Chain A
Amino acid sequence: MKNIIAAGLFGLAMSVSGLAFAEPIKIGMITTLSGGGAGLGIDARDGFMLAIEKASNPEIEVVVEDDAQKPEIAVQLADKMIQSDKVDILTGIIWSNLAMAVVPSAVAQGKFYISVNAAPSQLAGAGCDPHYFSVSYQNDNLHEAAGAYATKAGYEKTFILAPNYPAGKDSLAGFKRFYKGEVVNELYTQLGQTDYAAEIAQIRASGADSVFFFLPGGMGIAFMKQYAQSGVDTPLIGPAFSFDQNILQAVGDAALGVKNTANWSKDIDNAANKEFVEAYKAKYGRLPSVYSAYGYDTANLILSAAGEASVSDADAFQKALEAADFDSVRGKFSFGPNHHPIQDIYVREVVKEGDILTNKIVDTALEDHQDAYAKDCKM
């Protein structure tokens, strides 16, 4: 409490001198820090906090809480943060189902929600809101890029599979939106499935010349290892989620050479990215992942807006966020009319650097890409 008062007084003093922000900002971060999906939340938090600490501004306060990947906990935390912590901005949610449970009511209460990862189509189209921003992407973006890449690479018969839940269905639809060849088979697996022998047998029998799969987290690890052991050698394409920095080490050499689509990679050549990768490695002793990068960009976006406008003046603050006047580690970055990014999406290849598996950009799948829902957004 003392800190808050001190920060408040300091803020008051600064606003008089007009040097820093108009008033202190309180950010509530709800993210997944326990359970099977904790790796993603930890990376997003670490990236976010890295940027906050680098800014070292005493007027910014961040409250971090663990949602354990459960929608009901996320909703409780959001209520607590809005009502008793009195936060100005919410952020941090990794999973789309949790975002759907929290975001609509948070923005209805006048709070800003700035997403580090989850970006379901419902919030990008007709359900968009002036106070909702996604810094990461729209959920379909990476799958669309995979479809574009498969077309460009000359694949004609693709076998596609994803888990049987909303994001899985969106992913296959996204892929097909940009794929010109023939889909030889389309499969939905169970969410959380760990054995893919039955699916791999069908891939072997299908005569496909490529396989697109969206299997985030442990599902992707299981699939990749079993695929490598099966002796099937049809090339794999997937979004970055199954090829993220921390997942790759668990997959092992089975991932080598696989192409995946991402809007960030540690070898994107710009000063902000180099500085981010070095600082992250120095502070946490591991390479950043895409989630770390989204977290870092989100914090820098908030910092840039806070330097321009007071968060209590919602319209001005929204304008400052829309301007996206910060150095993104992704290089090109701007917001479309639905507050989702317009950005380049790359094709990466899994390579080995010394003992560590990592990704290298080999191509650009889509340039200045915007999502398919922006036209439905009226605000």
Chain B
Amino acid sequence: MQTALLIEQTLNGLQFGVMLFLMAAGLTLIFGVMGLINLAHGSLYMVGAFACATVAAWTGSFWLGLVASLAAAAAAGAIVEITVIRRLYDRDHLDQVLATFALILVFSEGTRWLFGSFPLYLNIPPLLAGAVPIPGGAQYPLYRLAIIGVGILVAIGLYLLISRTRLGMRIRAGESDREMIGALGVDIRTLYTVVFALGAALAGLAGAMVGALQSVQVGMGEPVLILAFVVIVIGGIGSIKGALVGAILVGLIDTLGRFLLPAALAAFMGPSAAASIGAALASMLIYVFMALVLAIRPRGLFAAAG
């Protein structure tokens, strides 16, 4: 049974990591290409979850909700880019932080105005309900396995998009020298809007998928955003590969830490104290890990060249 528990927890860590990757990929893309710190990324995650819950409630289909969440988050991202973010590229990071923080408040109160203060209901689709047996005799929820699958597909898709397509080439070029590709005749404004919408759609996808596991409510994006920042700092800012590795590491360390630390401490102290101290230490673990990574590789594990 202990092996089964360990396998289950490893899968949990992997699933958590994959979900973080969807958030962090958009964040790091936007930071890497446009040099913009976007605190409102968590709001786009919330937009995705609310769109999915609303459309799923109207139509009875989770899948239509999922499509709606991608569309809504991408649209919200594009609108925000055109109306607000566009004015911030040449400002310093502090201005960007301030403006995008204001966007969080606008999104949160706007969502409350539209949907009310009470959490919405979103269930997992019947196709993915239930649990499947895993080695060791335990069961694992099919839906969480599906999230891992989607995350891997998105990672492969992003890799192909950036390394194999014309758009990807422009994104990479924009990352290195934005004046030069502008001079070469690429419409840099549209490129930025597209990248921003792409990042937003990934956040929306994460929000919709996680919304079925958790509560869909105002402010749900902020805790995830903090972890996504940790992920991109560990992985190296601007690197998709770094975001993937960082997200998986953070997911595994956090999940296994929360599981193993209290158990380890219980070996030499009372259960109440072990639970409380173990939980406190476990919540610090990813930040300790981030500090270690930064001490050894100050620019992150897969820092973009330059």
Contact = CB atoms under 8 A, between A and B. Distances in A.
Interface of A: 34-36, 38-39, 42, 164, 169, 172, 183, 185-190, 192, 194-195, 197-199, 201-202, 204-205, 217-218, 221-222, 225-226, 229-231, 246-247, 249-252
Interface of B: 1-2, 4-5, 8-9, 12, 15-16, 108-109, 112, 117-121, 123-124, 129-131, 138-139, 141, 143-144, 210, 212-220, 223-224, 255, 258-259, 262, 271-272, 275-276, 278-280, 283
B279 A187 contact: yes
A38 B1 contact: no
- Which of B15, B108, B119, B138 gathers most chain A CB within 10 Å? B119
Given A164-B283, A187-B275, A197 B16 contact: yes
B279 A164 contact: yes
Given A186-B272, A225-B215, A229-B213, 16 more contacts: A36-B217, A172-B272, A185-B271, A187-B275, A188-B275, A195-B12, A195-B213, A197-B144, A197-B255, A198-B9, A198-B12, A198-B259, A201-B8, A218-B217, A230-B131, A249-B121
Contacts of A222: 213-215
Contacts of A190: 258, 279, 283
A163 to B, nearest CB: 9
A186 B269 CA distance: 13
A229 B119 CA distance: 19
A225 B218 CA distance: 18
A143 to B, nearest CB: 15
A205 B1 contact: yes
Contact of B276 (A35, A38, A188): A188
Contacts of A205: 1-2, 4-5, 138
Contacts of A188: 262, 275-276, 278-280
25 contacts: A35-B218, A36-B218, A36-B220, A38-B218, A39-B118, A172-B272, A185-B271, A186-B272, A187-B275, A188-B276, A194-B224, A195-B16, A197-B255, A201-B259, A204-B8, A205-B1, A221-B119, A221-B214, A221-B215, A225-B212, A226-B213, A229-B213, A247-B118, A249-B121, A251-B121
A69 B264 CA distance: 36
A355 to B, nearest CB: 12
Contacts of A251: 121
Interface of A is mostly: helix
Nearest to B214: A222
A231 B141 contact: yes
A231 B213 contact: no
A164 B118 contact: no
A201 B5 contact: yes
Contacts of B124: 229
Contacts of A204: 5, 8, 138-139
Given A187-B275, A218-B119, A221-B119, A195 B214 contact: yes
Contacts of B278: 188
A198 B217 CA distance: 22
- Which of B4, B215, B272, B276 gathers most chain A CB within 10 Å? B215
A169 B283 CA distance: 16
B143 to A, nearest CB: 6
A143 B220 CA distance: 27
- Which of B1, B112, B118, B224 gathers most chain A CB within 10 Å? B118
Nearest to A199: B258
Nearest to B223: A192
List the 3 closest pairs (A to B, CB-CB), nearest first.
A221-B215, A188-B279, A250-B119
B9 A201 contact: yes
A101 to B, nearest CB: 21
Nearest to A247: B119
B271 A186 contact: yes
A202 B214 contact: no
B223 A218 contact: no
